[in-house]
Structure 1
Amino acid sequence: MSTLPFPAAVYAARLARAASLAAEAGLDAIIVGPGPDLQYLVGVEGDTIERLTTLVLGPGVTPTVVVPRMELAKVRTTAVGELGLAVADWVDGEDPYALVTAAVGTASRVGVSDALPALHVIPIGERLGVRLELATPVLREGRMIKDAEEITELRRAADAIDAVHRRVHEWLRAGRTEREVAADIAEAIVAEGHRTVEFVIVGSGPNGADPHHEVSDRVIENGDVVVVDIGGAVPSGYNSDSTRTYAVGAPDPAAAERIAVLVRAQQAAVDAVRPGITAAEVDAAARSVLAEAGLGEAFLHRTGHGIGVSVHEEPYIAPGNDLVLREGMAFSIEPGIYFAGEWGARIEDIVVVTADGGERLNLAPHELTSVGLG
């Protein structure tokens, strides 16, 4: 029985678009291994293992899934079965790379997905007798522009993670460790509608100055500024990612003033989103507000990243990225400020590019929120 989040026709359209984009790129075929691209194209989830699973498609190529026979039943519950795609299954002792070669046929340019490891790339290239190249530009182009069904799922994910942020006051207080708070948050992420917990960051006090801090056994203290960055995948596999900054007890006035500037910077970047603007220009909108307030050096990373079946994917909202935004792109807007040894703060929402602007999907309060006052 199929458990696909979308109708089979959606996957058929994605496969057709991928083949068309491959033709435009001059590729005779593309080979897609397990990972986000395969999940997007046919709903097959999971990571690469030593046994080869891959999808072969392209202009003039019959879409074919090469899969170990022991995985065949699972694969047939996806769009592979729904669409009746060709399947070439194999058992241990047989040569799966010969099956890939047969599916590709005669080719001079073949692309591979970036999640396919060298363990499989090298023997595939040897069998085909061609220099393989990355299919990333082709696959990225398809995934960057979300269709209506994907945006619905991103909205569902945003609502679910907003519900968790609105409950943070239940767990975040002085005397508890970051790890204890994170455990409660992780339980709530699932309770509020996610299938999996992808990450929980609770960065209190000086730990908040590390943008990629996760959790520790540090005991949270009164007066701490705390970064809470959380996300998970809803049943369809689409992800949430949202950050809010909290103060335990009454916030320090100087910190509160700086965080208010950060909130304005985040809003400026959200307001800048529209078709035709570049990713770098959105990044600059946030960066300029912080720079004008003397906080430019405290902003240590890009403004955002795309999101979908992966938490991080194209487009990246970063300095120097001249990619022009188009309707249907979805990405985070998450400027932050960090003061080593003291505290950090970050505000993050997912935004979708609309026909004439941008839609903010996360609606939980953005301002510095005091908790643990009772």
Structure 2
Amino acid sequence: MTNTLIAPPRGFEISEFEARTEKLQARMAEQQIDAVFLTTEPEFRYFSGFKSQFWESPTRPWFLVVPASGKPIAVVPEIGAAGLHQTWIDDVRSWPSPRPEDDGISLLADTLAACATRHGRIGAMLGPETHLRMPAANFAALQDRLSQHVLVDVSLIIRELRSVKSEAEIAKIRFACEVTAAGFDYLLEHLRLGMTEREACKAMHLEMLRLGADACPYLISASGQGGYDNIIMGPTDRELGNGDVLIIDTGATFDGYFSDFDRNYAFGRGDALATRAYEAVYQSTEAGLSVAAPGRTTGEVWQAMWDVLEQAGALGNDVGRMGHGLGMQLTEWPSNVPDGNVVLKPGMILTLEPGMTFAPGKMMVHEENILITEEGCEMLHKRAWSELPVIS
């Protein structure tokens, strides 16, 4: 029987963009910030609704200015002006890009200066895990043109706003998760000894597209005898044989929102150490699920998961965190880290990603996607198998 999934509506109501902008402006007022300018695709899309594959090209910069009140102002290459006029944005200012000698910098500087006349403070994404998506020389030129103003970091404000999802955002992420979970189930029925990692990943990729995913920009795998020691590469043309364990870690998208989780498969026989490690990461996830709730912290979630892994004999965890935020990007703020102090709120979407080195050179990682609710948390997709599946 062919699986069918019902996709939620695409896009958002204008009221959603109005609410996002008003929340940012309220935070700006608290810090006496006159204007914020945004340069990266997720933030630009979050406040404008402008969704385009043209961001794949590094040639042209794009800017969105959020003033202290009123709608955002788009400062964009002429090639994008028509697309911006299809959004809720009214004020679209453009220049003939590419123009390396002044690729929108004077237009952006004039726009910001006109908005920042009260406090002289302008915000930008300047913190960890951010970038400005413009040449360094252009940023220096912008700073020079705005030398009478103070540039401040607003990355934490933006992250906090984006971390709590609306019902419409949750529906898109849930669908992306359901598609991915169904893809893993499909693979469980179609994996065979002798297949290559690449063949396995391609089969899953095609199934997720068939089920309704827009794309699968992130799909990696690793395999090895009784485990694996590198989970960020691949897939490769390595054939899967007796005693191998395969992990596939993937993120599918729907309407610009990601899923991100993985599953593990054993081939021919279940290695005893790998089987025990699988049981440990499964129980570690259970511990994370029991703790993830409003008022708890990311550090508490990490500790609950690590306690289980440590008791199971984990030799270490080398990835630095055990889960993260999820949404318009594959990985978002916050991270589940030791002593993490980010307080969980209803509407946050996180991954639980316990991982352990269970033998020298061998790892086991498990990842699920959850929504923080008023009462605790809920899975956004079908839970992983409680036992390590064996492909014969």
Q: Name whichever of 165-174 and 112-121 sits farther off.
A: 112-121
Q: CA RMSD in A?
A: 2.2
Between the aligned partners of 1:338 and 1:238, the Cα distance in structure 2 is: 31
TM normalised by structure 1 equals 0.91
Q: Name whichever of 279-288 and 333-342 sits farther off.
A: 333-342
The one of 219, 222, 238 equivalent to 1:218 is 238
1:229 equivalent in alignment to 2:245: no
1:313 corresponds to: 332
Q: Name whichever of 115-124 and 336-345 sits farther off.
A: 336-345
Q: For residue 111 of structure 2, what is the amino acid of its counterpart? A: A
The one of 66, 71, 74 equivalent to 2:83 is 74
**Following TM superposition, by how much is the alpha carbon of 1:167 offset from its aligned partner in structure 2, in angstroms?**
0.8
DSSP-derived class of the 1:297 partner: coil
For this pair of structures, how many residues does the alignment match?
366
The one of 94, 109, 116 equivalent to 1:101 is 109
**Any gaps of 5 or more consecutive residues in structure 2?**
1-8
**Following TM superposition, by how much is the alpha carbon of 1:26 offset from its aligned partner in structure 2, in angstroms?**
2.9
1:204 corresponds to: 223
DSSP-derived class of the 1:322 partner: coil
Q: Name whichever of 288-297 and 327-336 sits farther off.
A: 288-297
Assess if the C-alpha contact under 8 Å between 1:328 and 1:353 holds in 2: yes
**Following TM superposition, by how much is the alpha carbon of 1:60 offset from its aligned partner in structure 2, in angstroms?**
4.0
1:35 corresponds to: 41
Q: For residue 373 of structure 2, what is the amino acid of its counterpart? A: T
The one of 107, 111, 124 equivalent to 2:123 is 111
**Following TM superposition, by how much is the alpha carbon of 1:179 offset from its aligned partner in structure 2, in angstroms?**
1.4
2:4 corresponds to: none
1:138 equivalent in alignment to 2:157: yes
Cα offsets for 1:335-371 (capped at 9, x unmatched): 1123566543222111111112011112143323424
Give the alignment of 1:142-157 within 5 angstroms. Answer: 142-157=161-176
Between the aligned partners of 1:53 and 1:204, the Cα distance in structure 2 is: 40
Between the aligned partners of 1:78 and 1:338, the Cα distance in structure 2 is: 48
Assess if the C-alpha contact under 8 Å between 1:67 and 1:90 holds in 2: yes
**Any gaps of 5 or more consecutive residues in structure 1?**
none
1:57 corresponds to: 66
Cα offsets for 1:3-46 (capped at 9, x unmatched): 96111111121112122222223322110113111111112232
Between the aligned partners of 2:359 and 2:39, the Cα distance in structure 1 is: 41
Between the aligned partners of 2:186 and 2:278, the Cα distance in structure 1 is: 21
2:91 corresponds to: 86
Assess if the C-alpha contact under 8 Å between 1:210 and 1:338 holds in 2: no
Q: For residue 56 of structure 1, what is the amino acid of its counterpart? A: V
2:266 corresponds to: 247
Q: For residue 91 of structure 1, what is the amino acid of its counterpart? A: P
Counterparts in 2 of 1:270 and 1:241: CA distance versus 1, 3 Å: same
Stretches (4+) displaced over 6 A:
none
The one of 310, 319, 327 equivalent to 1:291 is 310
Assess if the C-alpha contact under 8 Å between 1:4 and 1:78 holds in 2: no
Q: Name whichever of 115-124 and 179-188 sits farther off.
A: 115-124
**Following TM superposition, by how much is the alpha carbon of 1:258 offset from its aligned partner in structure 2, in angstroms?**
2.4
1:128 corresponds to: 146
Q: Name whichever of 128-137 and 224-233 sits farther off.
A: 128-137
Cα offsets for 1:177-226 (capped at 9, x unmatched): 11121121221221121101121122111573223233222211112111
Instruction: Report percent identity of matched pairs.
Output: 28
Between the aligned partners of 1:174 and 1:298, the Cα distance in structure 2 is: 30
Between the aligned partners of 1:27 and 1:293, the Cα distance in structure 2 is: 50
**Following TM superposition, by how much is the alpha carbon of 1:238 offset from its aligned partner in structure 2, in angstroms?**
0.8
**Following TM superposition, by how much is the alpha carbon of 1:291 offset from its aligned partner in structure 2, in angstroms?**
0.8
Q: Name whichever of 187-196 and 47-56 sits farther off.
A: 47-56
Assess if the C-alpha contact under 8 Å between 2:21 and 2:71 holds in 1: no
Between the aligned partners of 2:207 and 2:362, the Cα distance in structure 1 is: 26
TM normalised by structure 2 equals 0.87
Assess if the C-alpha contact under 8 Å between 2:277 and 2:364 holds in 1: no
Q: For residue 248 of structure 2, what is the amino acid of its counterpart? A: V
**Following TM superposition, by how much is the alpha carbon of 1:50 offset from its aligned partner in structure 2, in angstroms?**
4.0
Assess if the C-alpha contact under 8 Å between 1:225 and 1:345 holds in 2: no
**Following TM superposition, by how much is the alpha carbon of 1:123 offset from its aligned partner in structure 2, in angstroms?**
2.3
DSSP-derived class of the 2:220 partner: strand
Give the alignment of 1:321-360 within 5 angstroms. Answer: 321-339=340-358, 343-360=362-379
Assess if the C-alpha contact under 8 Å between 2:258 and 2:330 holds in 1: yes
**Following TM superposition, by how much is the alpha carbon of 1:298 offset from its aligned partner in structure 2, in angstroms?**
4.8
Assess if the C-alpha contact under 8 Å between 1:347 and 1:366 holds in 2: no
Between the aligned partners of 2:212 and 2:163, the Cα distance in structure 1 is: 25
